[in-house]
């Protein structure tokens, strides 16, 4: 496998109760962890989503509510899942748009600190579409000369995706072999986004912008001055938890910068003036 690793890389696939990133939950997770020395380990779990599985999902995955009712919940598995992933970069098939955002939501819902933003993300589907324009079934046939026989089983799909990924690396000599470069190449489009849902963008100087609606292209700081209630509307509305987390962190950064600027512009008080100010503060 022509892949240069400086830290572990985890290929993953999720089966879920439905296709809504904000509301639906994981019912099955399959992962393959590849170490820099080339060794690989597997992780597979069924998960009780604590909400009903849609009929459409059951028809696609073959997983019913009865099959997961006695399985552990994500909250019960979160430490085990996080430990398996460790500090690894992540990849999957259509994972940048679905699997990784859903995983991020589950971690936030469980109040588990799990840093997604510092990881490199490789979307095998985007590599495939840029190189050949096909689906996963066709990708398996094209790259590996095999037919998928057990689609929509998380572990099977993960193994197929890993096989396709390895075959891509072997087939295209011009394809980068580091996780960072592959992450950039497999990103959909050229616009850098700050959250998985694409609601927030990021400028070259690091400022976060709104990436939709009437304030599209404007920075959070700019909108906070002209329409301060817009931030509150987003935090109360039905946006993904990860989107809200990025927005909250940006607003905290803006407020901290404003405080620092205000402090810098205020005259330095003498010790006597500070004492008088403190006494006045506690006067009844």
Residue 238 CA to residue 23 CA, distance in Å, equals 9
Identify the pLDDT of residue 268.
Answer: 67
pLDDT at 2: 84
Q: Check residue 266 and give its pLDDT.
A: 67
| pLDDT reported for residue 221 | 94
Taking the C-alpha atoms of residue 27 and residue 158, their distance in angstroms, rounded to an integer, is 15
Q: Is the domain defined by 9-186 classed in CATH 3.30.420.10?
A: yes
**For range 87-96, the mean pLDDT:** 95
Closest alpha carbon to 131 in 141, 147, 142, 145: 142
pLDDT of res. 198: 84
* Predicted local confidence at residue 254, as pLDDT: 92
Residue corresponding to tokens 């003036």: 273
Res. 275 pLDDT band, cuts 50 70 90: low
- Token pair recorded at residue 78: 């979160």
Average pLDDT, the chain: 89
Confidence (pLDDT) at 279 = 66
H or E element, residue 33: strand 26-34
- Copy the structure tokens of residue 153: 């089983």
Q: Residue range 106-132: average pLDDT?
A: 90
For residues 84 and 53, the answer to whether their CB atoms sit within 8 Å is no
Question: What are the domain boundaries of the chain?
Answer: 9-186, 200-265
Position 189 pLDDT exceeds 60: no
Is 191 or 20 the better-scoring residue by pLDDT? 20
Q: How confident is the model at residue 100 (pLDDT cuts 50, 70, 90)?
A: very high
The structure tokens listed for 113 are: 């600190």
Handedness of CA 187, 232, 258, 271 (dihedral sign): negative
- Which tokens in the block code for residue 3? 């892949």
Of the given ranges (92-106, 128-142, 256-270), which has the lowest mean pLDDT?
Answer: 256-270
pLDDT band at 225 (very low <50, low <70, confident <90, very high): very high
Choose the weakest-confidence range: 70-74, 107-111, 183-187, 264-268.
264-268
Report which of residues 33 and 136 the model is more confident about.
Answer: 33
Token look-up 């590599």 returns: 127
Cα separation, 234 vs 237, in Å, equals 5
Mean pLDDT computed over 258-264: 76
Whether 207 has a pLDDT exceeding 80, the answer reads yes
pTM as predicted? 0.70
Return the H-helix or E-strand segment holding 15: strand 9-16
Q: Which two tokens stand for residue 157?
A: 């799909």
pLDDT band at 72 (very low <50, low <70, confident <90, very high): very high
- Mean pLDDT of the 211-230 span: 91
Backbone angles phi, psi at 22, to 5 degrees: -75, -35
Long-range contacts of 150-154 (CB under 8 A, 24+ apart): 152/15, 152/60, 152/61, 152/62, 153/15, 153/28, 153/30, 153/61, 153/62, 154/13, 154/14, 154/15, 154/28, 154/29, 154/30, 154/44
Nearest to 120, CA basis, from 149, 145, 87, 153:
87
Residue 186 has pLDDT above 70, yes or no: yes
């Amino acid at each position: 496998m022509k892949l240069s690793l400086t830290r572990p890389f985890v290929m993953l696939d999720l089966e879920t109760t439905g296709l809504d990133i904000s509301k639906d939950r994981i019912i099955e997770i399959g992962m393959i962890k590849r170490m820099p020395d080339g060794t690989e380990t597997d992780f597979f779990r069924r998960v009780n989503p604590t909400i009903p599985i849609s009929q459409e999902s059951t028809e696609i995955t073959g997983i019913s509510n009865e099959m997961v009712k006695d399985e552990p919940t994500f909250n019960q598995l979160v430490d085990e899942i996080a430990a398996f992933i460790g500090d690894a970069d992540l990849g999957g098939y259509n994972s940048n748009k679905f699997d990784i955002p859903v995983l991020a939501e589950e971690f936030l819902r469980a109040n588990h600190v799990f840093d997604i933003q510092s990881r490199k993300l490789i979307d095998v589907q985007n590599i495939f579409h840029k190189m050949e324009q096909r689906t996963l079934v066709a990708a398996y046939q094209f790259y590996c000369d095999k037919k998928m026989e057990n689609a929509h089983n998380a572990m099977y799909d993960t193994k197929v995706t890993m096989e396709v990924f390895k075959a891509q690396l072997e087939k295209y000599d011009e394809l980068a072999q580091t996780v960072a470069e592959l992450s950039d190449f497999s990103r959909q489009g050229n616009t850098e986004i700050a959250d998985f849902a694409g609601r927030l963008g990021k400028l070259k100087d690091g400022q976060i912008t709104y990436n939709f609606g009437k304030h599209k292209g404007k920075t959070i700081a700019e909108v906070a001055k002209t329409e301060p209630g817009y931030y509150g509307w987003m935090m109360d509305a039905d946006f993904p938890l990860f989107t809200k987390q990025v927005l909250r962190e940006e607003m905290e950064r803006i407020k901290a910068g404003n405080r620092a600027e205000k402090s810098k512009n205020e005259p330095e008080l003498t010790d006597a003036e500070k004492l008088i100010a403190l006494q006045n503060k506690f006067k009844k």
